[in-house]
Amino acid sequence: MFHESLPTTMIESPCIQTQSQQQQELANIINVDGEEEEDDDEEEKVEDKLLSRNLVSERNRRKRLNEQLCVLRSLVPHITKMDKRTILSDAISYLKGILEETAKEEENHCNSNEESELCP
């Protein structure tokens, strides 16, 4: 209503911009594009850091696993091969053998000493 009483020359159309307004908008667009590029760069840096951290963590995990396999290899006699699967397989067989021997010894001990408290 207020605009109807004004002459059309005094009403500024949103489509008509001064040169300084156009330059300001271009500067804003450039800044926005620059900020987006910076944001993309920052996101890539964060992703690279996370990836790098994951790689280091995985490398450390493998190193600890290999160290533990070396310890196991040194504790178990008669390891046939040095690969991980064989080390674990030979260790399992060795422990099963120890358990069987222990069970036999306990049985023999209980048969010879029937009155012992250790026997069921």
Per-residue pLDDT tens for 67-116? Answer: 999 999 999 998 888 899 999 999 999 999 999 999 999 888 888 776 55
Confidence of residue 31 (pLDDT cuts 50, 70, 90): low
> Domain locations in the chain?
33-112
| % of the chain with per-residue pLDDT over 70 | 61
Read off the pTM.
Answer: 0.52
Return the HEC string of the chain. Answer: CHHHHCCCCCCCCCCCCCHHHHHHHHHHHHHHHHHHHHHHHHHHHHHHHHHHHHHHHHHHHHHHHHHHHHHHHHHCCCCCCCCHHHHHHHHHHHHHHHHHHHHHHHHHHHHHCCCCCCCC
Q: Which fold has domain 33-112?
A: MYOD Basic-Helix-Loop-Helix Domain, subunit B (4.10.280)
CA angle 65, 70, 77 (to 5 degrees): 135
Confidence of residue 14 (pLDDT cuts 50, 70, 90): very low
Confidence of residue 35 (pLDDT cuts 50, 70, 90): low
pLDDT at 16: 53
